[in-house]
Amino acid sequence: MKQIRFFSFLLNLLYPPRCPVCEKILLHDEPLVCRRCAVSLPYVEEPYCMCCGKPLMRVEMEYCSDCEKRRHPFEEGRAVFRYERGLRLSVNRLKFLGRREYLPFFGECLRRLLLEMQPFWQAECLVPIPMHPKKRAKRGFDQAVLLARQISCPSLPCAEKLLERQRFTESSKKLGRSQRRKNLRGVFRIHPGAGIPESVILVDDIYTTGATMDEAAFTLKKAGVKRVYFLTLCIGQGQD
């Protein structure tokens, strides 16, 4: 035990933990995020869309312009942060630079939101939005799976094999809304022989147009899932 503590001390001395938002070296009493970032994190606060959880401009609004026009196959979704400022850079460092040391912070933020929503949702399991095996092999990990594992527990397990991405797609960042939906049509399937739960929570890092979440929810509903909710770390504010 003493040996483990010594190596932990040595590791922190050589590679001190840094704030996942601003990259500042954390002080001993700053376990997950620095004080300055902790008070300025762009949390999603009311008013937000009653369907997808996207921040709204006016208190009297109930739905964002997208949810007013489109009926989604999911019941409801929520996100922790607005996709802006240091959070955008932080999530990109996790995804593209493999900064897995950020996961305890992201997991804690998602866990708090899950504890708030699960009494109402009563979901049976978490389902991470899957990455295609080709992309996962190149990156070395699937961030949605890692996030879902962070917040799973015996009463809400991570069903990471339930949903599969059966077709490789190029990045949708530069595509418009209709192009994204066309690009993602039929991209998911249910793992052969998988048991179908009655209610699930999809987990992903970012919600932008909702095209990915819609396609995943549609696939699950088609297979027999009755209720689909979602949690994401970040959510965009615009329509595209």
Q: For 88-124, how does the pLDDT look when each residue is reduced to its tens digit (9 = 90+)?
A: 999 999 999 999 999 999 999 999 999 999 999 999 9
Task: State yes or no: pLDDT of 127 exceeds 70.
Answer: yes
Choose among 213, 202, 236: nearest CA to 73. 213
- Cβ atoms of 172 and 183 closer than 8 Å: yes
What pTM value is reported for the model?
Answer: 0.90
Residue 176 confidence (pLDDT): 63
Beta carbons within 10 angstroms of residue 201's beta carbon: 27
The two tokens of residue 216 are 């995943």
- Cβ atoms of 193 and 170 closer than 8 Å: no
Q: What is the mean pLDDT of residues 35-47?
A: 95
| 192 phi and psi angles, rounded to 5 deg | -55, 130
pLDDT tier for residue 168 given thresholds of 50, 70 and 90: confident
The two tokens of residue 157 are 């397990």
Residue 3 confidence (pLDDT): 47
Q: Which of 117-126, 132-141, 196-205 has the lowest mean pLDDT?
A: 132-141
pLDDT tier for residue 175 given thresholds of 50, 70 and 90: low
pLDDT tier for residue 7 given thresholds of 50, 70 and 90: very low
